[in-house]
Amino acid sequence: MADVSGEAAASAGQSGTGDSASGNQTLSKRQMKKLLKQQKWEEERELRKQKRKERKQQRKQQRQNTQQENRGDGQSARKRPRREVAPSALRLVVDCSFDDLMLIKDVRKLHKQIQRCYAENRRALHPVQLYLTSLGGQLKQSMDEKDKGWVNWKDITIKEEHYSKVVAKDELVYLTSDSPNVLGELDQKKAYVIGGLVDHNHHKGITYERAKELGIEHAQLPLSSFVKMNSRKVLAVNHVFEIILAYLEKGSWQEAFFTVLPQRKGAVAVSQDQTNPQENDDNEEEESSSDSDLDAAEQTEIRD
C-alpha cells in the first residue's frame, strides 16, 4: 500500500512540474512585448488626456485671438452689414385669372416669375404686402408639382378668389401699359394689380379692358418719361414688381428702372436720347425673332 501511495505522489509531483513548465511557456516574446506595451499605454492614459486638454485650450485661444483681430480691423468682409428693414403698407396683387388664356409652358414661366417676386420681396428693404389672387388651374398644378414648398411661404396672402373680392374696388389700381394714365407717386393706401399673363402679345389690351369692365382705376408706370428702349416696353411680372420695390427704396423712378431693366433691352435715359417718344411706342408692336431665346422672366409680356 505504501509503495502505491509513493508512486502516486511521485506521479502527482511530476504532473505539477509539467503544468508549471507549460504555464511559463504560454506567453511568447511577442505576447510579452504586447502585454508590456498595453501596461505602458494604461499608465500614460492620464498624460494623454492632459495633452488633449492643452491642445483644445490652445485652439480656443487661437480662435479668440482671430476674432479680436477681425473686430479690430472692422467688420468681417464675409458678413454683409444688416440693413434696417421697414415693411411698406403698399399692396401688390398678382392677378392670376388668365390661366385659361395660356399654354402650360407659359404658365410655368409665370410660376417662375412669381417665385422671383416672392424671393425679392423677402430680401427687400421695404417689403410690400404681396397678394396672389385667382390661384388655381394650371398655375396651381405647376406650383404643386414644381415647388411644393409654396404652401409654407411667409408674408404673402394667397387666395382662390378674384382680387375684386379680396380688396375694396376703390382701393385698386390696375397697372397696364395701355392705360392713358401715367403713375406719378405710389399711394400707400392703394393696392396695385399686376396682370399675371404670359401671352406674347396675343391678348393685347386685355388687362386694360378688364380694369374698365370692373370700373377700377388703372395706370401705367412712367417708363417713357425716363427710359428709351430699343425693344418692346412690355415687362415681366417680376420686373414690374422689382421696379416698385426699387422705387420704394430709392425714391426715384429713373433709378428704379435702370436698376431692374435687363441690359439686353437697350435702355437709356431720356436725356441721352432725343428720339421721338412716339417712334419708340410704334416699335413696341415689333417682335424680334430673338425673343425666343430670352430668359423666361424677360420674354414674358405683362402690361406694366
* 194-229 pLDDT per residue, tens: 999 987 677 888 999 999 999 999 999 998 888 877
Q: Which of 7-21, 41-55, 64-78 has the highest mean pLDDT?
A: 41-55
CB 118 within 8 A of CB 154: no
Closest C-alpha to 237, from 119, 141, 95: 95
Question: Does the pLDDT of residue 277 top 60, yes or no?
Answer: no
Euclidean distance between CA atoms 88 and 168, whole angstroms: 19
More confident site: 28 or 2: 28
Contact in structure between 127 and 85 (CB atoms under 8 Å):
yes
User: Which residue range(s) make up the domain with 288?
Assistant: 91-299
Q: What confidence category does residue 247 fall into, taking pLDDT thresholds of 50, 70 and 90?
A: very high
Q: Which of 75-79, 179-183, 295-299 has the lowest mean pLDDT?
A: 295-299
User: What nine digits make up the cell of 298?
Assistant: 424677360
Is residue 244 domain-resident? yes
User: Which is more confidently placed, 32 or 264?
Assistant: 32
The C-alpha cell of 133 is what?
A: 389672387
Of 233 and 24, which is predicted with more confidence? Answer: 233
According to the model, what pLDDT value does residue 216 have? Answer: 96
Q: What are phi and psi of 182, to 5 degrees?
A: -105, 130
- Report pLDDT for 46: 85
C-beta atoms surrounding 58 within 10 Å: 10
Q: Is residue 110 part of a domain?
A: yes
Q: Annotated active-site positions, please? A: 199
Would you state the pLDDT for residue 73?
55
Q: Does residue 250 fall inside a structural domain? A: yes
Residue 81 binned pLDDT confidence (cut-offs 50, 70, 90) = low
pLDDT at 158: 95
pLDDT > 50? residue 5 = no
Q: Is residue 194 part of a domain?
A: yes
Q: Cα-flanking dihedrals φ and ψ of residue 4, to 5°?
A: -65, -45
Rounded percentage of the chain residues whose pLDDT exceeds 70: 72
C-alpha cell read off for 276: 421721338
119 found inside a domain: yes
Highest mean pLDDT out of 237-251, 267-281, 290-304: 237-251
In a domain, 169, yes or no: yes
Q: Distance (Å, rounded) from C-alpha 36 to C-alpha 29?
A: 11
Among 154, 255, 235, smallest CA distance to 194 is for 235
| 243: pLDDT strictly greater than 90 | yes
**Range in 38-42, 163-167, 234-238, 300-304 with the lowest mean pLDDT:** 300-304
Whether 128 and 157 have beta carbons less than 8 Å apart is answered as: no
Contact (CB, 8 A) for 248 and 186: yes
Q: How many domains does the chain have?
A: 1
Distance from chain centroid for Cα 41: 54
Q: What is the pLDDT of residue 227?
A: 84
Lowest mean pLDDT among 167-176, 238-247, 271-280, 289-298: 289-298
Provide the CB-side half-sphere exposure for 88 (13 A, CA).
25
**The pLDDT value given to residue 51:** 87
- What's the mean pLDDT in 77-83? 52
- CATH number, residue 186: 3.40.1280.30
Three-class DSSP labels, the chain? CHHHHHHHHHHHHHHHHHHHHHHHCCCCHHHHHHHHHHHHHHHCHHHHHHHHHHHHHHHHHHHHHHHHHHHHHCCCCCCCCCCCCCCCCCEEEEECCCHHHCCHHHHHHHHHHHHHHHHHHHCCCCCCEEEEECCCHHHHHHHHHHCHHHHHCCCEEECCCCHHHHCCHHHEEEECCCCCCECCCCCCCCEEEEECCCCCCCCCCHHHHHHHHHCCEEEECCHHHHEECCCCCCCCHHHHHHHHHHHHHHCCHHHHHHHHCCHHHCCEEHHHCCCCHHHHHHHCCCCCHHHHHCCHHHHCCCCC
pLDDT at 37: 85
* Domain-located, residue 53: no
The reply to whether 260 falls in a domain is yes
- Cβ–Cβ under 8 Å, residues 161 and 134: yes
